[in-house]
């Protein structure tokens, strides 16, 4: 974007956002959804507040002069077009960098959760579901403690996953450490998880068929309305045979869903 001969940087996708931008944008979107539920303000007021907040965050990578120019030259009615990708489905798949808490460094999972096991995935997904359902920060802290873990003592930088192996006991032990971490940082992690989850759902459309579409106000900021817990799919796939559970849980998430997707495609062909 060029205004008064100056190039103004403006992110066009979730993965172009810096970690600090992601934190602020996640916080703004959560604010919007909370205020919307309270029904104390008009939709127009909430939209205008949200769009202004989001456009300011997108401009943060520019210097103060460029931000000043942009805010005075971009008409408010154009804010929506610039932030529309943020108010649609979350597509962030890059996790925030490692976080230092009380002299310990906690490392993130890989982009798009490419190095996560079904066991870890099923557990963190239930935490995410319960956090969204209850808005209880205990689930958010556990989610962060599950995804971000200290380095495995016997690992090396060439390994796919340098984090300590997933263990529910260690997760519960580390969870209290996250209570004092700023909520914006934790929301950024949750949004990266949700975006990675959305990516996986898109990659395996037969495993996660789309729900029947409902009419939605085109001005509405989207929030997840349909949810299929991974744990439910896992037990359905093994036909509730618990003798297969441990081996299946240790599979990489894509090694599990890839063949499962192909099986469902073949079943669909056979029914024709």
Q: Of 106-120, 236-250, 256-270, which gets the smallest average pLDDT?
A: 236-250
Return the top range by mean pLDDT from 75-84, 86-95, 158-167, 226-235: 86-95
Which of residues 35 and 184 earns the better pLDDT score?
Answer: 184
pLDDT for 225: 46
Q: What is the mean pLDDT of residues 125-136?
A: 93
Element (H, E) at 169: helix 168-174
Nearest to 96 by CA among 85, 84, 111: 111
pLDDT band at residue 199 under the 50/70/90 scheme: very high
Q: What is the mean pLDDT of residues 44-59?
A: 93
Which of residues 240 and 23 earns the better pLDDT score?
Answer: 23
d(CA 115, CA 154): 17
Percentage of the chain exceeding pLDDT 70: 82
Domain residue ranges of the chain, discontinuous segments joined by +? 2-87, 99-210+217-271
pLDDT band at residue 219 under the 50/70/90 scheme: low
Element (H, E) at 3: strand 2-3
d(CA 108, CA 144): 9
| Span 223-232, pLDDT tens digits | 544 566 666 6
**φ, ψ (nearest 5 deg) of residue 164:** -60, 150
Residue 14 has what DSSP assignment? G
Q: What is the mean pLDDT of residues 65-82?
A: 90
- Widest Cα–Cα separation across the chain: 68
Nearest to 8 by CA among 92, 70, 91: 70
In the predicted model, what is the mean pLDDT of the chain? 86
Which of residues 180 and 269 earns the better pLDDT score?
Answer: 180
pLDDT higher than threshold 60 for residue 46: yes
pLDDT higher than threshold 60 for residue 2: yes
pLDDT for 166: 94
d(CA 165, CA 63): 42
């Amino acid at each position: 974007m060029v205004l008064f001969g100056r190039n103004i940087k403006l992110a066009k996708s979730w993965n172009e956002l810096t970690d600090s931008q992601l934190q602020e944008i996640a916080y703004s979107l959560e604010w919007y959804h909370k205020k919307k539920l309270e029904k104390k303000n008009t939709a127009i007021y909430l939209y205008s507040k949200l769009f202004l907040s989001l456009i300011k965050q997108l401009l943060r990578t520019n210097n103060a002069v460029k931000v000043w120019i942009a805010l005075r030259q971009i008409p408010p009615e154009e804010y929506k077009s610039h932030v529309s990708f943020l108010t649609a489905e979350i597509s962030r798949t890059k996790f925030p960098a490692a976080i230092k808490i009380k002299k310990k460094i906690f490392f993130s999972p890989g982009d798009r959760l490419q190095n996560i096991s079904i066991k870890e995935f099923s557990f963190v997904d239930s935490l995410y579901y319960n956090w969204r359902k209850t808005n209880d920060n205990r689930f958010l802290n556990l989610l962060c403690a599950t995804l971000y873990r200290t380095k495995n003592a016997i690992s090396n930088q060439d390994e796919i996953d340098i984090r300590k192996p997933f263990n529910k006991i260690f997760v519960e032990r580390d969870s209290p450490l996250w209570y004092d971490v700023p909520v914006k940082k934790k929301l950024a992690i949750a949004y990266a998880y949700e975006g990675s989850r959305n990516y996986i759902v898109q990659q395996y459309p037969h495993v996660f068929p789309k729900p029947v579409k409902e009419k939605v106000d085109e001005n509405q900021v989207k929030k997840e309305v349909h949810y299929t817990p991974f744990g439910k799919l896992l037990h359905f796939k093994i036909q509730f045979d618990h003798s297969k559970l441990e081996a299946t849980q240790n599979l990489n998430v894509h090694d599990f869903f890839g063949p499962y997707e192909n099986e469902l495609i073949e079943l669909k062909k056979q029914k024709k």
